[in-house]
Amino acid sequence: MKIIFLILGLVFLLFSYFQFNDPDPEIWVPIYLIAALACYMAFRNLWPSWVFLVMAAAYLVGAILQWPPEFEGVFWGGMKMRSLNIELARESLGLGTCVLAMAFLGWRAGVNPPTAT
């Protein structure tokens, strides 16, 4: 299971790196770095399940609020953006990825709770 935590953490670090090209990296880099930190904490079994579940709920609220008023897809002519709706959809789906990962981490932490040392 730890290998999955490691892979998820690396994916979120990569997501964070890709955000440096974004018009607003000061928002999106920390969002993905926090998800990567959560993966590390799950890898080390340091946080209880409720922390991950609260994070999943926060990411879910963000994904819902970020959803575009009109869905136009996430691709247009390769990776170029045609409209703000495409950018909003991409950001919302990125947050949705965080929701799924945090819910998974919360579930695993509930199965294998941290022990006091």
User: Is 83 within the bounds of a domain?
Assistant: yes
Read off the pTM.
0.88
Share of the chain above pLDDT 70, in %: 91
User: Is 117 within the bounds of a domain?
Assistant: no
User: Is 103 within the bounds of a domain?
Assistant: yes
Query: Is the predicted pLDDT of residue 79 greater than 60, yes or no?
Result: no
Q: 47 lies in which domain range? A: 2-111
pLDDT at 113: 77
pLDDT at 111: 81
7-57, pLDDT tens digit by residue? 999 999 999 999 998 888 999 999 999 999 999 999 999 999 999 999 999
User: Is 116 within the bounds of a domain?
Assistant: no
3-class DSSP string for the chain:
CHHHHHHHHHHHHHHHHHHHHCCCHHHHHHHHHHHHHHHHHHHCCCCCHHHHHHHHHHHHHHHHHHCCCCCCCCCCCCCCCCCHHHHHHHHHHHHHHHHHHHHHHHHHHHHCCCCCC
Domain count, the chain: 1
User: Is 15 within the bounds of a domain?
Assistant: yes
Query: Is the predicted pLDDT of residue 76 greater than 70, yes or no?
Result: no
Say which residue the tokens 């981490």 belong to: 105
